Structure 1
Amino acid sequence: MTTVFFLGATGYIGDAVLSALVKVHPTLSVTALGSFTDAHGLELVERHARAADVVVNAACSDDLALHSAILAGQRKRVEVDGKPRGALVHTSGGAMSLDPSRAGAYDLNGEIWNDSNPANVRALTTSMVHGQVDIPCVSILMLTHRCSKSDWSCVPSDVLTLGRRILQAGEEGYVETHVIFPGGILATERQRACYFGEGTNMLYLVDVNDLADLYLRVFDRVLTGADRDACPYERYYIGAVNALPFKAIMTAIGESLARRTLLEDGTPESIAVDQVPDPWVPSYPPQLWC
């Protein structure tokens, strides 16, 4: 029986993925972790990662300590226990491929990041969003020849649609969950929906259930060993379905907030990037290619 250690089980993406996983693979032995706040949690992660055949990390994409604990457990599985190293399915994010331009305009000559082109994945650096954790999953492990045969990365673009949270002890039924698009928060703070410049910069989106299907496809490749002989740069899967101009997205958000009387006027306005203080600027990519 395949044993799975699943992190981020009560999160927006994790809920959808784990629900789909246990439905399609009911015989899996799954240990799921929701969240933790102390060093004891990292010890727990290392211990369960050491014991698992497959680790699925759908928790924070940027938690280097968490990722290090997973890798430490998997190394002990090999070096101390003498077992084959467990596979790791890591969650990154489409912000890896943000265009550095801040003009809010669509760039016809912009780089199109393609997960079927290993050269694009090799171009990732630790200076990119999520890079400090992603790079150990691909290039560093490739160069050191340690743990490089068993890593897969799923890279969601912006995720939307209501999810359904898995039951916790003492609960009945399902609870709807959703991710809050940062633009909605900023709109309520400014009392006006807004976009940058002309707002033609593109943002890629994926339905959370379509994203769960991507994880299932990757998980099946893990079980069958379909990608095991491929280099890590070829086991990097981007989840993106639709692309919309940022102005159109903020128009929909503004109208929705106005219907709920959270804004008096739902019509978005154009602003300059420097009008938005941190930490909102990183949440508003001028252009996202996936």
Structure 2
Amino acid sequence: MSTTTKIFLTGATGYIGGSILTRLLAHPDRPSFELTALVRNPDAAKKLAALGVKTISGSYDDLALLTDAAAQADVVFTMVCVTVWDQLPPAQAILAGLKQRFEQTSKPPILIHTSGAGIVMDITAHGHSGAQDTYSDLDAETLASRPGKALPMAVESALVRADEEGYVRSYLITPGTIFGLAKGPLVDLGVQHKHSLQLPLFFRTFIKRGRAATIGPGLNVWPAVSYNDNADLYLRLFDAARSSSSSVGHGREGFYFAESCEYSALEIAQASGRVLHKLGVAEVREPDEFSEEQVQASFGAFWEILSSTSRARGERARAQLGWSPKEGKAELLASVEREIEELLKDSKL
């Protein structure tokens, strides 16, 4: 690897990706970074160029482009929204490029991939408590066996296999629900998405119907992590992975759950109900339950994920990276009001 570290990012204008790019732009080693981002929007590309970020015009469907870009990179961050289910072909294209890079340099490039706590969820919970097992990211064998009724792990499995073959070092960050509004220069420029997906999808629906609600009784639970703590984990892992003396886990040992607390859907609905009532959006403070018709109309096929249970514990980052999240349950519940206030300013609910 040369004195210049070539970094390729996908999803750099998204909620997660923007937080990582912002941190990289402010990194002490920034002068040695060559940052390249895959971008769809020409206006966003111009704004990123003004910040010193090279851009490649294209999408996650441009497989040859992904391979070419990865073949030039020492480090790749993949941060495409986890609701894009068919990510295997793009992942395979990126791995093909990274294999070329390895053949050129004889040094395994680094791949930091965004997965999610959905890999251990009980999708049959349907608003009930669901499976009670809590999965640790230190339990590599259990994670490799795809516990419970979880999301497919085709991409994660491909990354682990590539690591085992030795031509890449893969790291898989698996956040729970990420909360908090995005802030920073990319947001100020109108480049980065300000909101996450999971909770704001509920908030928008609550605002439209004028009352908070749950899918079923809302007893399903998920782990959560703040926007800032999640970004901190990525950067700690990035710095550790670049170190020649690094012993942090990768491949099969490279799953990193990002979480600082656990919440139930009912708790979020109750907090939302209080805020909506306070702001005059809802006449009734207490949430009710969505009807089946409302669930389908509001969430479509995504409803089973939103009503699932996922229990995960991020012990690897704490033990190996010294990651210590600062924001927990109190901050999660306090963020509800700020999110709803911001969404009420948006005419495109």
Smaller-chain TM-score bracket: 0.7 to 0.9
How many Å apart are 1:91 and its aligned residue?
0.3
Unaligned runs of 5+ in 2: 41-56, 313-349
Query: Does 2:222 align with 1:200?
Result: no
How many Å apart are 1:17 and its aligned residue?
1.4
**Structure 2 residue aligned with 1:179:** 196
TM-score normalized by the length of structure 2? 0.70
Q: Larger deviation: 109-118 or 40-49?
A: 40-49
Work out the CA distance in 2 between the residues paired with 1:209 and 1:153: 18
SS at match of 1:60: coil
**Structure 1 residue aligned with 2:36:** 31
1:92 to 103, 108, 115: 115
**Structure 2 residue aligned with 1:114:** 136
Work out the CA distance in 2 between the residues paired with 1:204 and 1:17: 21
Give 1 or 2: higher helix fraction: 2
2:70 to 41, 46, 49: 49
1:234 to 238, 253, 265: 253
Work out the CA distance in 2 between the residues paired with 1:173 and 1:10: 9
Q: Larger deviation: 24-33 or 44-53?
A: 24-33
Query: Does 2:94 align with 1:77?
Result: no
Are residues 183 and 174 of structure 1, via their aligned partners in 2, closer, same or farther at CA, if it must alter by over 3 Å? closer
Does the 8 A contact of 1:164 with 1:174 survive in 2?
A: no
Are residues 128 and 174 of structure 1, via their aligned partners in 2, closer, same or farther at CA, if it must alter by over 3 Å? closer
Work out the CA distance in 1 between the residues paired with 2:58 and 2:250: 34
Does the 8 A contact of 1:156 with 1:206 survive in 2?
A: yes
2:165 to 136, 143, 146: 146
**Structure 2 residue aligned with 1:157:** 176
How many Å apart are 1:215 and its aligned residue?
0.3
Are residues 266 and 137 of structure 1, via their aligned partners in 2, closer, same or farther at CA, if it must alter by over 3 Å? farther
SS at match of 1:105: coil
Are residues 176 and 4 of structure 1, via their aligned partners in 2, closer, same or farther at CA, if it must alter by over 3 Å? closer
2:273 to 254, 273, 278: 254
Q: Larger deviation: 62-71 or 238-247?
A: 62-71
Aligned-residue CA RMSD (Å): 3.1
Q: String of CA shifts for 1:206-242, please: whole Å, max 9, x gaps.
A: 1111000000111022101556685622111000111
Are residues 241 and 130 of structure 1, via their aligned partners in 2, closer, same or farther at CA, if it must alter by over 3 Å? farther
1:220 to 220, 231, 239: 239
Unaligned runs of 5+ in 1: none
Are residues 179 and 121 of structure 1, via their aligned partners in 2, closer, same or farther at CA, if it must alter by over 3 Å? same
Are residues 42 and 253 of structure 1, via their aligned partners in 2, closer, same or farther at CA, if it must alter by over 3 Å? farther
**Structure 1 residue aligned with 2:89:** 65
Does the 8 A contact of 2:126 with 2:304 survive in 1?
A: no
Work out the CA distance in 2 between the residues paired with 1:110 and 1:162: 30
Residue identity opposite 1:32 in structure 2 = A
Q: Identity, % of aligned pairs?
A: 26
Does the 8 A contact of 1:4 with 1:30 survive in 2?
A: yes
Work out the CA distance in 2 between the residues paired with 1:210 and 1:47: 32
**Structure 2 residue aligned with 1:104:** 127
How many Å apart are 1:146 and its aligned residue?
2.4
Residue identity opposite 1:77 in structure 2 = R
Aligned residues: 283
Does the 8 A contact of 2:171 with 2:255 survive in 1?
A: yes
Are residues 258 and 60 of structure 1, via their aligned partners in 2, closer, same or farther at CA, if it must alter by over 3 Å? same
Does the 8 A contact of 1:91 with 1:154 survive in 2?
A: yes
How many Å apart are 1:288 and its aligned residue?
1.4
How many Å apart are 1:286 and its aligned residue?
3.3
Q: Larger deviation: 252-261 or 12-21?
A: 252-261
